[in-house]
Amino acid sequence: MQLAGAASISVATALVALKVWAWLATGSVALLSSLADSVLDLFASIITFYALRVAAAPADREHRFGHGKSEAIAGLAQTLIITASALYVGVQAVLRLIEPAQITAPGVGIGVMVASLGLTILLVAFQHFVIRETQSLAISADAVHYQADILTNIAVLAAIGMNYWLGWYVADPILGLVVVGLILGSVRKIAIAAIDVLLDRELPAEVRRSIREAAQEHPAVRGVHDIRTRSAGVAEFIQFHLELDPEITLSDAHRISDEVEDAIKRRFPRAEIIIHADPHGINEPRDVF
């Protein structure tokens, strides 16, 4: 995760430098939109990098559940940054629609955008590898807007070509607005994922079913209820009540609970599991959902 964060900062820095040069040479609004997005990508990647360092810190006296939610906070910070980028680009695109202009030095713009496209594709491929290995929310958020950048780069290439060689001057600002739409679409996904973590949204229904199945596979388990789950960055938290024979000893209940916990751990190795043992048949309030 740390390596992915560092790679993101390195790529964003290189893209900003290339696009500043290309925008000054071409004056393309579509390229300006891509530059603005890359500048804010750089800030977002820096936030992500430090959020990952905090998230990786072990639990301490003040944070007994760890620091995983710092990833979600970083994701929300990214949404604010990316939204600001989109609004700026949208204003510039509308101004260029009012006063269309021809792009200059198209070769520079095309060369830079092809290089940007290649770097971004490599970064996204690496990020997806890291996401598969860690399920990191911060890296997932980073990957979402870099995926939008791939489409952005393609749109900018098309805008430069149509503006310079076909004389379609409005293509540049129109495609700039298309880029704005792509950016805002990526913001929505990031924001929803971050808010879900901060509000302790339950893990997917299939995860809860798998937890119940793993617990009920133990021959001594009479029932399972009040399953509650949540995630905090790369960590998952699972708790539930386990119904056992009321005649068994406390030592047996402890042993069975440990065996059930081990079975669930094999399915969800990153989870922290809390089990409350109940005597089967006891009448007590239960969750209705």
pTM > 0.75: yes or no: no
Q: What is the dihedral of CA 44, 48, 51, 52, to 10 degrees?
A: 180
- Report the alpha-carbon distance of residue 8 to residue 18 in Å, rounded: 15
Query: Any idea where the domains of the chain sit in the sequence?
Result: 2-198, 205-279
The tokens of 30 are what? 């579509």
- Cβ atoms of 45 and 1 closer than 8 Å: no
- Report the alpha-carbon distance of residue 103 to residue 242 in Å, rounded: 69
Task: Give me the tens of pLDDT residue by residue for the chain, a chain 289 residues long.
Answer: 788 888 888 988 998 888 888 888 877 766 776 777 778 778 878 887 888 788 778 878 888 788 878 878 877 887 887 787 778 777 877 877 787 766 666 777 788 888 888 998 999 999 889 888 877 767 777 787 677 778 777 877 787 778 777 777 777 778 778 777 877 777 787 788 888 888 888 998 999 999 999 999 999 999 999 999 998 766 789 999 999 999 999 999 999 999 999 999 999 988 999 999 999 988 888 887 7
- Cβ atoms of 202 and 208 closer than 8 Å: yes
| φ/ψ of residue 180, rounded to 5 | -60, -45
CATH number of 2-198: 1.20.1510.10
Q: What is the DSSP string of 29-92?
A: HHHHHHHHHHHHHHHHHHHHHHHHHHHHSPP-SS-TT-STTHHHHHHHHHHHHHHHHHHHHHHH
Cα 124 from chain centre: 12
CATH number of 205-279: 3.30.70.1350
